[in-house]
Every structure is written in C-alpha cells, then in structure tokens.
Structure 1
C-alpha cells in the first residue's frame, strides 16, 4: 500500500507514516475520542455515554474505510506501536489516481442501524495541536444513525447546517480534509502538519482547492497552512452546556491552490 506522496522530511524520527486500514479502527476511535475531549465545546452534540460513542464511531469508521472516494493515512510511533495521529481525506471525482488508489476490503463492511437521514458529516476536528476539522461530505450523504443517547434534534440541526455549508462552498469539487486527529500525548510533535502538507502539495499540482471545517483550536494551524475562513457555523452552547457564555464557532475554511511548490520538508 504505497503512499501517493514522499515521506515529509519534517516527520519526527521514530514516527512512521502509512495508510490506515480497518485493522487500525479501534486505535483510531480511541484517538478520535480523546483528542476531541481536550475541548468540551467540540463534543456538545455527543452522547454522554462513552460506550455508545465508541460503537457509533466504529460503525462510521468502517463505512468510511469502504468509501472509494476516501483516503486514510496514519502516523505511528515505531518504538511503542501507538497510533500518533490520523487523517481522513475526501477525494473529488476524477482525481482518485492523483491521491493514491483506494485500498480496502469491502467484506469488512458492517451494518449501520437505520437512523435519520441528514445532510452532512460529523464535525471533526483538526487536531489538536490542537488541530481539528469537520467533514467535507457534500450532497446526498448516506443515512446515518445518531449516537445512542445524543439529542437527535441537536445533531440533525448541526449536521444539516454542515451540509448546507458544504453545498454553498461547492466542497464536492475540492480536496476535503474531513478528519484530523492527534493523540493528546503526542501534541506539538508536528504529526498533524506531516499528514496535511503532502496532500496539499498534490492539490497544488492538480490545481485543486482544499476544504475543511475547523474547530476554534484548529483554525490558527490551518491559517498557517494557507487556509482562509470563508464562513462560520455558530452554535449557541448556552442552551446545551453549562459554563459556556459564548457561541461555538466552527470555521469553514478554503485553501486556494498555489503555483509555487509547497515545501513539505519544513
């Protein structure tokens, strides 16, 4: 499963970058869950039941792994074998080869409990350096179920708003960074940047813009990589969480393709 890009020179010694597979799902869910807990605002739509969230996340991971338009990459600590970080990318139609052929096993698909048809994907985050980004799924997403114990109306409103934002920006025509998660114990080690820069270099070579939805913690990181905020999704947390007096702002960000080569080793 060769990578579609060279290993960034900036990758920390002892870290390895490779494709993520269904065998990594358990570890990916752990990292996903823990990375978002670093900022409670990112989880306002979650179920309070950790087990229910893990079940939902695993179902979702399996479905994404079996989507031929999605690519997953991971960084691993070679010494401990631990998952450091991973990224999920949505590839626009017609550019599948440029970003590496899909690799997966459709036989691993598991059933998803029928739920509410919503337009959009879960907001994710760019990981927490804190980098975090949400989904870039566009129109006509598959029916998904909400995590058991979550407020369905809250989830539906949030996800539908994400979908409208995606359609408004024509995210389907862009490379989409739909999920970036870094284990909290590996923050500030450059893992998120190492997962992003190689794909942006390919996007530049193909003349593609890149779309992401960034949490408050992730926005400054994306701005340094050339993303600009083009819109916001604001949620009033005062109605759903105690201790928050301001709205939660998810930044809708787009990065224009660059003509100058991107320095992936910096």
Structure 2
C-alpha cells in the first residue's frame, strides 16, 4: 500500500553518505555482525562503504533507492536493486561468462573476518547459480528503514519499485530474506523457494544466521 506522505526515487551520488548511515544503523544488530564481526567499523571503513555506494550509482548502474518523508524532507529508508541481464542487446539469456562475472566477492573490511565474509558470498552466489541459472532477473540486495519509521509502508514501497521494474522487463525478482522480514515479502507476492543457513557459530555467534530465498 502506498503512503502518500512518502516518496521513493533514485538515490543521488551526493546522498550516498546518508544511505550508508541508515544502512549501518539498521544493520547494527543483524548483518553488521557478519560484515564487521571483529568490531565496530572505523571511519575509514564507513567512508569506503560511502564511496562504494557513490561509485555504484555513477559507474556501475546499481539501482540505489531512497524513501523520503515529504513532510520533513528526511530520507527514512533505502534499497539496493541490481538488474542482471545480458550485455548483448536483444539476447534472451546471459552467457555463463556473464553469470560468473557477477559472482564477485568484495575485499573484506578491516573489521571483517575474511573467511566468514567469503562464506556468506559463496553461499549466496551458489544458490543464485543453482536457482536462476543464466536467466535475467532483478535482485533486491538491501532494504533498510529506520526503526522509528517502520510500519509506514516505506519498506513495501522500496520493494514494490523493483518488482514493477522486473514485471516491465518480464523477468523474476529475487531476494534472500531474514526470517523477520519474510512476511512482508510474502505480502508483496514473493514465494519461498529455499531455506539456507550460514554457519556463524563457528565464528563466535550464538546461533547460525538463516535466510529464506524468495522469487516472484
């Protein structure tokens, strides 16, 4: 459901730091424990995340979104979508070289455990390869809304934006949901495909992290 007080649009390069701060705050109790398992990220690391976001907008065609409260002008949430499609105009499927090229593993941060970060990306990449093959798709990489603005429809609007683009392109929308976030995605038409689990207990966590892979 669309909240008329909120507006979703593409993030501007100069807004990358605001996006980074929201992402960091929302992920602090969850994904940050995987990304920065050795401690709170330094200013240098946060600057790197900001620059990666800015570079993704300007040079890599990554679709970063913002959700703005029109009454205050405040950015209250954001999302990162990526469209995996063939480079050749008119091609119906990606080449396997293009598929594999999309499975890069980023350099760890100073506060990362490199093995844990590699395990995370290997788990996600393996399942994308298995489930999607060389089909084109939109994937929701990140969706974050500040806690004080939850239950206003911002998350649904950020997700729906990408689903509409996927429908227009005639391709599937794909995501890995936490168990907490799964119900929202189901309301928006996503169907569970597979449950996956990342071994984080080996690295000192109280429990392993579980995700649900979903497709529209």
Q: Distance in 1 between matches of 2:120 and 2:155?
A: 25
> How many angstroms does 1:27 deviate by?
0.4
- Structure 2-normalised TM-score? 0.81
Deviation per CA, 1:89-124: give whole Å up to 9, x if none: 1123269xxxxxxxxxxxxxxxxxxxxxxxxxxxxx
Q: Distance in 1 between matches of 2:163 and 2:184?
A: 14
Structure 1 unaligned blocks of 5 or more:
1-8, 96-136, 256-266
Are residue 240 (structure 1) and residue 203 (structure 2) matched?
yes
CA contact (8 A) 1:139 1:163 kept: no
Higher relative helix content = 2
Partner of 1:118 in structure 2?
Answer: none
Residue of structure 2 aligned with 1:44, choices 5, 8, 33 = 33
CA shift at 1:35, angstroms? 0.9
CA RMSD of aligned residues (A): 2.5
Write the distance in 2 (CA, Å) between the matches of 1:217 and 1:187: 13
Q: Is the 8 A contact 1:213 1:251 kept in 2?
A: yes
Partners of 1:56 and 1:229 in 2: CA distance: 34
Report whether the alignment pairs 1:54 with 2:15. no
Given the alignment of the two structures, is residue 85 of structure 1 paired with residue 77 of structure 2, yes or no?
A: yes
Are the counterparts in 2 of residues 12 and 189 from structure 1 also a CA contact under 8 Å?
A: no
Distance 1:227 1:206 in 2: 17
Cα drift, residue 44 of structure 1: 2.8
Match of 2:10 in 1: 19
Partners in 2 of 1:138 and 1:224 — Cα distance?
Answer: 30
Structure 1 runs of 4+ aligned residues shifted over 6 Å read none
1:28 is aligned to 2:19? yes
Structure with the higher fraction of residues in strand conformation: 2
Deviation at 1:138, TM superposition (A): 5.3
Which among 150, 158, 171 is matched to residue 208 of structure 1? Answer: 171
**Which residue matches 2:95?**
none
1:41-120 matches, within 5 Å, as: 42-47=31-36, 48-51=39-42, 52-93=44-85
User: In the aligned structure 1, how far is the partner of 2:18 from the partner of 2:179?
Assistant: 25
CA separation of 1:164 and 1:228: change in aligned 2, threshold 3 A:
same
TM-score, structure 1 normalization: 0.67
Is the contact made by 2:105 and 2:121 (CA closer than 8 Å) also made in structure 1?
Answer: no
Distance 2:122 2:105 in 1: 12
State the number of aligned residues.
201
Q: Structure 2 unaligned runs (5+)?
A: 88-97
Find the residue that maps to 2:179 and give its secondary structure.
coil
Match of 2:92 in 1: none
Q: Distance in 1 between matches of 2:186 and 2:41?
A: 32
Tell me, yes or no, if structure 1 residue 153 matches structure 2 residue 115. Answer: yes
Tell me which moved more, 229-238 or 218-227. 229-238
Aligned-residue offset at 1:53:
4.2
Q: Counterparts of 1:212 and 1:143 in 2: how far apart (Å)? A: 18
Once the 2 structures are TM-superposed, how far is the Cα of residue 16 of structure 1 from its aligned partner?
A: 2.8
